[in-house]
Structure 1
């Protein structure tokens, strides 16, 4: 099949959804599918996409902007005409923001369109004209968790239109290290220091104030622990990061907290951490950092919100804490470290959980099945309509009409 992939920015610096899309595209390519990448903004992943994409198309945008409506309309339709299709093409959008362009392209080329739901719906009563047309025009929606599916059903979408496919990662890449002491030494950290880490966006919805305050309580019983925060603001500005640094000073724990900025390769930090933390306050759709950490053998303490409880299942439910609850976070961190010290198999259990349920092949299986099913469905619909048109044409032909008239005359 020929899969036309829509992505805003081909960058690993933004978050998990861009990384997950790259894994999906690479996996589909390895299974024999042809990939065309359509993007707006260049990023560090573009070079890697060029290795396997048949075609890469840069466009001006995926929306018609009201403030520049004439230029925007002109660019919009020029961009849709740039994209070549074949008889086995399908449009696959990585987020709902791109849905209007995806639907317009699909209709103009008479091909199906599927959209990935990697984010909760926007906090508005209606999606708006463009997003509404695009999202309701999608043949199938793919949610990254059951909770995300529920969030979109509440927005008015039909349950049977949304399939759930959990994110997966390359477990050959994310794996434990046998040289933790060496890596710690390279980072200037002694073996007896307990490492709590956060890896992700520095945005308010991630509950970083809760993390810092909860860690402050945790330090009362773990004097030598360090909190390492890796990431940069995406929705907020650098001022927000400065406010977090100021909070550590106010609490008197600045020497125990270190801000590392964005890490191009977070794997060593996962490997040296005793526990990683995701203290989201919003309905977190999935939480890719959780499965990355656990694949590296490091347990995760995370908020009981959104799709997170669908990852931390079974005995790992004990690692869930209430969103925004500082004391509960401190207690759960204490529990996680006790468990790790008492159970030498915990690291192996974490990794096995990801190998079984959240590997990249399982994710690609799910998306490939949906894409192929929707393409076959469109093909079948096209054949049925073609037969109906042929029958209508035959009934309306002069020969048929003469035959009918002759039959009436004889009778």
Structure 2
């Protein structure tokens, strides 16, 4: 099978979508499939793609803004690239973001190859050209049942959508060999408990709730340190014609101001983007996902559990699908700082009260959300289309 992968920015700094795609592509390559990567912007993941892809081709644009002549002219070379692209037998398009649907649809139509759209997000910002492009999708693959339901409500036929949950590489994400040493690497030399967040710095992640919960726990006499890892999300500005960090940086400043106003600026530390977050998982007593939007299927859920660190998450989106059964007790109401504080208070002493919990966390993801199960599911859906 020959996969034509459509990606936006080939970087690890935007979030889980990009790193998840790299994981899938590498896994399919290891099973003997050939990969061609089309991308808009180069980034730190490009070298890894080039190590196993047959071709990596930069595309000028996946769509256009009809209000901008510059944007429209930038899209025209992409149409030429569609005609010039060499297509191998048994090819299939794997589009990592439905926002690329116009280009993917054109490529599918003109070159007569099946088109799969990978749904890692609920339907947002769908203009006419994107809706048009989605009409020609042969199959959707959603990362959670909740994401599938979000798209069904949007009007997509349920029979066109398959669900394949994300997975985690258990060889990469392992428990700490020495948790005390891991804590010391982050400057913690006493019995202070470490609460961590790893992800992008964006309003939909609900980080205000985490900071407020930290303040509540401090007032109750808890010795804690909350480490927030990630960088502000860039947003595209049509007026400036480029991606800008202004909005994201303003949000980050608002979080530091909130920590000051809650008198927890010494307890809340923003540590920036981590190319490798494993050291922070190893140092953590608990990892938190405080999202206030319909979180599809966060990679951080699996990474934390694989490292034998309990995960506390908001009861929204796909989170309850992952933290099910015995882990349901680690869910809290979105935006409710008191509920989050109570949840953290229950779990944060697990090393003393229930030291087997870490083993249970890792066994859970091993049983249900392994890397192999993810690749199995994606491969099965793609092969069904190629064979048919």
Shorter-chain TM-score: which interval?
over 0.9
Q: Does the Cα contact within 8 Å between 1:64 and 1:76 map onto a contact in 2?
A: no
1: CA distance, partners of 2:341 / 2:184: 27
Q: Shift of the alpha carbon at 1:341?
A: 2.9
* Corresponding residue number in structure 1 for 2:176: 177
| Matches of 1:190 and 1:291, distance apart in 2 | 27
- Whole-Å Cα distance in 1 between the matches of residues 353 and 132 of structure 2? 55
Shift of 1:221: 3.0
Matches within 5 A, 1:90-105: 90-105=92-107
Q: Does the C-alpha gap of structure 1 residues 129 and 218 become closer, same or farther in structure 2, counting only changes over 3 Å?
A: same
**Cross-structure match for 1:208:** 207
Aligned ranges 1:153-232 → 2 under 5 Å? 153-232=152-231
Between the aligned partners of 1:14 and 1:220, the Cα distance in structure 2 is: 34
Structure 1 residue aligned with 2:376, among 357, 362, 365? 365
Q: CA deviation at 1:179?
A: 1.4
- Between the aligned partners of 1:80 and 1:222, the Cα distance in structure 2 is 62
Distance in 2 (CA, whole Å) between partners of 1:112 and 1:265 is 35
2:263 is equivalent to residue 252 of structure 1: yes
2:329 is equivalent to residue 318 of structure 1: yes
- Check the 8 A contact 2:183/2:284 in 1, yes or no: no
**What is residue 391 of structure 1 aligned with on the other side?**
none
Contact 1:184–1:191 (Cα < 8 Å) also in 2: no
Partners of 2:61 and 2:75 within 8 A in 1: no
Give yes or no for contact 1:181–1:191 (8 Å, CA) kept in 2: no
- Which residue in the other structure is 1:10 paired with? 10
State whether structure 2 residue 119 is matched by structure 1 residue 108: no
Distance 1:223 1:370 in 2: 49
**Match in the other structure for 1:146:** 145
Q: Matches of residues 124-139 of structure 1 in structure 2 within 5 Å?
A: 127-139=126-138
1:324 is paired with a residue whose SS is coil
Tell whether the 8 Å contact from 2:186 to 2:283 is kept in structure 1 after alignment. Answer: no
Q: Which has the higher helix share?
A: 1
Structure 2's unaligned 5+ residue stretches are: 236-246
Distance 2:196 2:88 in 1: 47
Residue 222 of structure 1: how far off its partner (Å): 4.4
* Cα distance change, pair 222–354 in 1 and its aligned pair in 2 (3 A): farther
Instruction: Select the structure of larger CA radius of gyration.
Output: 1
Contact 1:11 1:43 in 2 (8 A): yes
The 8 Å contact of residues 229 and 260 in structure 1, kept in 2 or not, is answered as yes
Q: CA deviation at 1:182?
A: 1.4
Residue pair 1:57, 1:83 contacting (<8 A) in 2 also: no
* Structure 2 equivalent of residue 22 of structure 1: 22
Once the two structures are TM-superposed, the CA of residue 132 in structure 1 deviates from its matched residue by 1.2
Q: 1: distance between equivalents of 2:349 and 2:187?
A: 25
**TM-align CA RMSD:** 1.3
CA distance in structure 2 between the partners assigned to 1:45 and 1:306 by the alignment: 28
Secondary structure of the residue that 1:364 maps to in structure 2? Answer: helix
Q: How does 1:270-309 map to 2 (within 5 A)?
A: 270-309=281-320
Contact 2:183-2:282 at 8 Å conserved across structures:
no
Q: What are the ranges of 5 or more consecutive residues in structure 1 without an aligned counterpart?
A: 378-411
* Structure 2 residue corresponding to 1:77, chosen from 59, 79, 82: 79
Q: Residue 389 of structure 1 corresponds to which residue in structure 2?
A: none
Q: Is the 8 A contact 1:145 1:166 kept in 2?
A: yes
Q: Deviations over 1:246-284 (max 9, x none)?
A: 111111111111110111111010011000111100100
How many residues of Structure 1 are paired with residues of Structure 2 in the alignment? Answer: 374
Alignment partners' CA distance in 2, 1:322 and 1:280:
10
> Which segment drifts farther, 230-239 or 348-357?
230-239
Counterpart of 1:246 in 2: which secondary structure? Answer: helix
Partner of 1:397 in structure 2? none
